[in-house]
Amino acid sequence: MHSNQKLNMGNISGSENLEESISWLYVSKDSLLRMSPLRLITNPVMFVVELSFLVVLLMTIVPGAFPNLAHQSDRAFYAYVTVILFVTVWFSTISESIAEARSKATAASLKKLEKEGIAKRIQENGSEGRIIENVKSSDLRRGDVILIEKGDQVPTDAEVLEGIAMLDESLLTGESAGVRKSKGDTVIGGSTVVSDSIVAVVNVNPDETYISKLVKMVESSERPKTPNEVALSILLLGLTGVFTIILFALIALSLLLNLGADLSVLIALYVCLLPTTIGALLPAIGISGITRMSKNSIIVKSGKAIETAGDTNTILLDKTGTITVGNRLAHEFINLGSHSEKELAEAAFLSSWNDDTPEGRSIVELAFSKGFVPREYDALREGVHEEFSAVTRRSGITLVDSDDFTLPKGGREFYQRHRFRKKFELQTPLTEDTTIHKGAPDTIKELADICPDNFDDVVTKITSEGGTPIAVSMNGDIVGIIYFKDVIKQGIKERILGLKKMGIRPVMITGDHPLTAGSIAREVGIDEFVAQAKPETKHQKVKDEQGANRIVAMIGDGTNDAPALAAADIGLAMASGTFAAKDAANMVDLESNPSKIIDVVMLGKQLLMTRGAVTTFSITNDVAKYFAIVPVMFVSIPALSALNILGLTPQIAVLSALIFNAIVIPALIPIALRGTRFKPQSTLRIFLKNLLLYGVGGVLLPFAAIKLIAVFLVFIGGII
Amino acid sequence: MIGVGYLLITALVWAIIISLAWGLSKYFRKVYENEKTFLDWFLDPLENLIYRILGIDRNRDMGWKEYFLSLFVFNIFTAAISFVILSYQGMLPLNPMKFPGINWSLAFNTVTSFSSNTNLQHYGGGSTLSYLSQMVAIQFLQFTSAASGAVVAVAIFRGFAGRRDESRNLGNFYVDMVRTMTRILLPLTLILAVLLIGLGVPQSLGGYSLVKTLSGSFEIIKVGPISSLVSIMQLGTNGGGYFGANSAYPFANPSPLTNYIELGGMMLLPTAMLFLFGRMLRMKNEGRTLLIASYGLYAIDLAIALVPVTTLGAGMETRLGGFSTVLYTVTTTAFTTGSVNTDLAAMHPLVIMAALMGMIIQATPGGIGVGAMYMLMYVIITVFIVGLMAGRTPEYLGAKITANDVKLAVIAFLVHPIIILAPTALAYALGAVHAIGLGTGPVGFTQIFYEYTSAAANNGSDFLGTTGNTVFFNVSTGIVMWAGRFIPIFIMLAIAGRMLDKKRSTEVALRTDNLIFPAIVIVSILILAVLTFFPFLAIGPILMHLEGIKNAL
């Protein structure tokens, strides 16, 4: 299933390697351009606010054009209303521009990743064989064959044709782990070859690389609306319709019944009642969703996918990489034959001292913790190291005899830190050069001359328990096996609990034996798992869940995963995976961190919640606005002032309500951009919290705010 | 102020009606799901005969469009028959009082009114209509319109319940109609009519008689098939009275006991429909949600109306007392029945305001069938607005509420303000209001606003009565009544058709079957529906109240 072997663990939280800086000049310019009626018409709520602004502007200039609806003496008031209405529209376009600017900033920082480099292009030249020429990486085209050697940076996305190499993808993923790539694997532009060399065929043109796609995605302003956005827009359009009917009915009745209402006041009521808050912030919320995904280094193929993620019922989690760290750590030394545990541990220690992989480090740490530290430190300095190679799948060391005992560089600190001061005795003093090998059991068995009888039994036992055996041999004699066990990712248990609280069912998928799978699942609190999964198992599981009308999210990397990724509602492919997988998925994670599927689901939920919260707030705000404006609306009916519970004079009441209506927009921009905060809890509790904050709060807050603004206006008026 | 005794009476009426409705809904479910009931031995052969005569294929299951079309054509057909009878009653039998045929605009108004379950009356029944007209044109439409409301709700419930098996659709309109008549409306009307006859309501075809009263003057005693009409007018939330004075007329409502029985009669079926929703969905708590939301709003209505009941104004029904009059007035609008036991003009402005609220909401619990339908419309809009806050695409009954559902629900929601406000303004602009002697003050405005609100909500109670018998009011209210009836039905059937095939998830984020959700629905209705009309209530009944105008007399 895994076309490559990852040697390092991924980090759970997305690395914030993309900085943002917003150009305020761009925001101010762009927001004014967006006020053009032709562009604003896509946002009906703000469009009618702009129309209202134009009408009141006309009232300010020629009040005579509105007999019985406007008065010469109120021109100053009309001017105030005009300004506030203009600012209301402007605030809305500013919020959109800020969101857009943020996404541009994200795009710009992503672009920095694409450095111009030199590539080695291979030209087949009949008689002379291959010629290698140096070309600029931007000159590479699909189909070009390139050579990438140790130390080279991969110039662009390509597929390996020959050779096996270790690659460092840290520039893209923020992880320093080496990744093994062999024929058929994809190498991503920007990563570095750390061992061996490969020949690869370029499979994208310069503007088609994954980074270019990401940049294009976050930059594009042509963003199709997501299904919930469409539905919400329809609701807003409907509410606009209701209030428009009311406005016209009020204008007509005011004239027919001689109620003496001023057109500017009716328009003010109209604008206040319109769902301007959500109308203004809806586009910004949508843009911010994609921007935040990009910041997590996830390419989303459509905004719809993020939204669907919020609806996830079942989440299929691969055991390896998601629940456990990608690699297993040394857990136990199992000595074989006549050899003691100490012998094995010391041999393992010596062979791993220069091994910087987590596996290697874990062997040294285990030996230290058990007190098995060999005395041939000096020998290590002079030893001949056989580095791990993807071809041989083993590493080793050949030691030269020495009597002195000195700690190697860096070893002293480690030794002291462990407060380990025992004198070491070597079991079998080295009288001649010693060669130690460690690696996969079959490789070592092949290499060794002497193999203990129970070797295969132990290997089978460890494997059946879900562990990984690594054999160690000394001078052709197998001394034992190191038992590698799964290590549960830090924090994964809490995250799984969070998922369960929110009503999302995690299902673990693993090729392991059911017993092993069961014990790991129990440990992290997963109730359902599929063990001994075959490549097609995931696809079947996706289909089964969907058959029960559940929305399924999953991750995948191999070509085998492609059908399941395509079938799943949310398919998150790893950038390190094959093209088939990435093509089938609707999101690609550049950091290749499988746990991020959980972040994707949470972000989807947050996006929906933010829209709901701002909509609810926008609608509940109306209560206070009715009570501020309606009592003072009809000049000819003083009796209605009994309803004036805020006790405001007519013009102050109207201006205060309008000002409140306008400043709520910028006040909520931070919420629109970063989303409403929520902790993983039951959906009912999350809902009730939001309802209390944005529903009940939305009714109460404006009463206080409008009164405060009114007091302030009166105060300012007093000064002037 | 409201005494504890009044609260107890209200609670008692509610308890009795809710229990009866709960029990009846069990029977209703069996009727609509073709299960065995105790009347089968008698009704099965009868219904089969009807199906055979009318050529109805009882196994034909209809989609929402066919269901609506059948309903609409059926209603046009029954309205047309009634129109002919009313126009030519002078030449037709059963007319001992020799009333002439009525003019086209009044006939148009009357048939649109009765066929839309509104029963707005611009005529004085006792002095205009023959027995044939009362029984065939009026009572017939009272049955068919009530049954139409019930079957629409049943079809919508089937849609919301989802397709249980491949073949199931929204049902067969004709079968539903026949079964509603034979198994629900006729038996219940019969029971109620007999009960009322026993309590002194006349049922006769013997003609009016002239008697010499104790004071020596002569008076025409108007009797007729009153009890049956009163029964169906209440049960079917119709509201059109035999007499212009409706249930304020002693023969239609002789005693406090008949008053409460009639009150309960109009509450019974709309309440039963709410329970039926839960039963047909096999989710009883969802029915409870609709019930709590409806009755919660009804209680708010009552609270507003009962605050000012201190003294009886001029013209208020003294026989039955202030409290029962107010309770009746609020209930008749809350259930959009429109029968009255008092002169509306005698009511306190706040009672009028409560009445208007009931008709603005239309789901408190509203008319038979359609009340539940409107409540579902509000539920969909509410679920959509607040549901997002649970962090998922909003779902109702496990089905996702998508853009098209929102579109349909919002259009249905828009109908009401348009058909109330546009003709109200038009009536003033064209001088029709002044023509019937009403002014531009709060009293006149309240009466006109009430007229169209009542027409749009298919309620039927009104201030105008026979003064509304002008071409403008007859035609405009007629159009409003049909628009207010059939446009929302069309849209809600479309939503039901969509719901039928929606995938249902069993893991729902925002539960609608708890006690929190109905409270949210109530608040959402108050903000979305009632506050929308706040400026108009302010210049009508609220202003009357504030200016110290006790009533419209």
Q: pLDDT tens digit string along B204-249? A: 777 777 777 777 777 777 777 788 888 888 888 887 777 766 777 7
Mutate to test the interface with A, among B380, B385, B389 (most CBs of A within 10 A): B389
Does the distance separating the beta carbons of B389 and A235 come in below 8 Å? no
Q: CB–CB of A550 and B417 under 8 A?
A: no
Q: Which pLDDT does position A448 carry in this prediction? A: 82
Query: Is A318 annotated in the active site?
Result: yes
**CA distance to partner chain B, nearest, from residue A235 (Å):** 7
Write down the pLDDT at residue B210.
77
Q: Are B497 and B64 in contact (CB under 8 A)?
A: yes
Residues in chain A where the model's pLDDT stays below 50: 1-20, 174-176, 402-431
User: DSSP for A583-632?
Assistant: HHSSEEETT--TTHHHHHHHHHHHHHHHHHHHHHHHHHTHHHHHHHHHHH
Separation of alpha carbons B388 and A670, rounded Å: 19
A300: enclosing H helix or E strand = strand A298-300
Phi and psi of B251, rounded to 5°? -70, -25
Chain A neighbours among B 180-239 (CB < 8 Å)? none
DSSP letter string over A336-387?
-TT--HHHHHHHHHHHHTT--SHHHHHHHHHHHHHT---STHHHHHHPEEE-
Q: Write the residue in A242, A620, A687 that is nearest to B532 by C-beta.
A: A242
Question: CB contacts < 8 Å between A and B, how many?
Answer: 179
- A106–chain B nearest CA distance, Å: 26
Q: Tell whether B530 is within 8 A of chain A (Cβ).
A: no
Burial class for B348, CB neighbours closer than 10 Å (0-12, 13-18, 19+): buried
Query: A145: which 2 tokens?
Result: 């064959």
DSSP-derived 3-state class of residue A482: strand
Query: How far is A284 from A232, CA to CA, in rounded Å?
Result: 14
Residue B52's SS3 state is helix
B553 touches chain A (CB under 8 A): no
> What is the per-residue pLDDT for A425?
39
Amino acid making up residue B73: V
Q: Residue B131 carries which side chain, given as an amino acid letter?
A: Y
Say what the pLDDT of residue B523 is: 95
Residue pLDDT, tens place only, B33-42:
989 988 889 8
Interface with B, mutate which of A245, A254, A274, A629 (most B CBs under 10 A):
A245
Contact check, Cβ <8 Å, B542/A640: yes
At A112 the pLDDT is: 63
Helices A650-674/A75-111 angle, 10° precision: 10
B531 touches chain A (CB under 8 A): yes
The Cα A664–Cα A645 span in angstroms is 22
Cis peptide, bond prior to residue B365, ω within 30 of zero: yes
As a whole number, mean pLDDT of residues B354-376 equals 94
Give B-chain residues touching A502 at CB under 8 angstroms: 391
**A157, A168, A196, A318: which one is catalytic?**
A318
**How many other β-carbons are positioned within 10 Å of the β-carbon of residue B472?**
18
Residue among A231, A620, A639 minimizing CB distance to B527: A620
Q: Which pLDDT value is given to residue A325?
A: 73
Is the pLDDT confidence value at B317 over 80?
Answer: no
- How high is the pLDDT of residue A696? 95
Please name which of A669, A653, A691, A525 lies closest in space to residue A268, comparing C-alpha atoms. Answer: A653
Cβ distance B385 to A235 less than 8 Å, yes or no, reads: yes
Rounded to whole angstroms, the Cα distance separating A167 from A173 reads 12
- The interface predicted TM-score (ipTM) is 0.93
Confidence at residue A314, expressed as pLDDT on a 0 to 100 scale = 93
The residue of chain A nearest to residue B502, with distances taken between CA atoms, is A549
pLDDT of residue B391 exceeding 80 = yes
**Among the partner residues B386, B509, B527, nearest to A691 by beta-carbon distance:** B386
Q: CA dist A95 to A34, A453, A611, B33, B203, Å?
A: 11, 73, 15, 55, 71
**Stretch 109-128 of chain B: residues touching chain A, C-beta under 8 Å:** none
Alpha helices by DSSP H, A353-491: 358-370, 377-382, 411-417, 441-447, 455-464
Whether this prediction's pTM lies above 0.90 is answered by no
For B275-344, the DSSP string reads: HHHHHHHT-HHHHHHHHHHHHHHHHHHHHHHHTTTTSPPTT--TTT-HHHHHHHHHHHHHTT----SS-G
Which of A605, A620, A694 lies closest to B392 in CB terms?
A: A605
Name the 3-class secondary structure at A195: strand
The one-character DSSP state at A539 is: H
Q: What are phi and psi of A549, to 5 degrees?
A: 60, 40
Edge-first strand order for the sheet with A468-474 is: A329-335, A477-485, A468-474, A434-439, A394-399, A384-386
pLDDT in tens, B107-161: 999 999 999 999 888 887 777 888 888 888 888 899 999 999 999 999 999 999 9
Chain B residues inside the 8 Å CB shell of A551: 505
Phi, psi of B57 (to 5 degrees): -85, 105
Residues of A in contact with B387 (CB under 8 A): 612
Q: How far apart are CA A573 and CA A561, in angstroms?
A: 9
**By C-alpha distance, which of B170, B190, B168, B171 is closest to B181?**
B190
Cα(first)–Cα(last) distance of chain B, in Å? 22
State which H helix or E strand residue A471 sits in.
strand A468-474
Mean pLDDT, rounded, for B45-68: 92
Cross-chain Cβ contact A502/B539 below 8 Å: no
Q: Closest to A612 (Cβ–Cβ): which among B388, B511, B528?
A: B388
In this complex, do A612 and B387 lie within 8 Å of one another by their Cβ atoms?
Answer: yes
Residue bearing tokens 């929110």: A502
Check residue B166 and give its pLDDT: 66
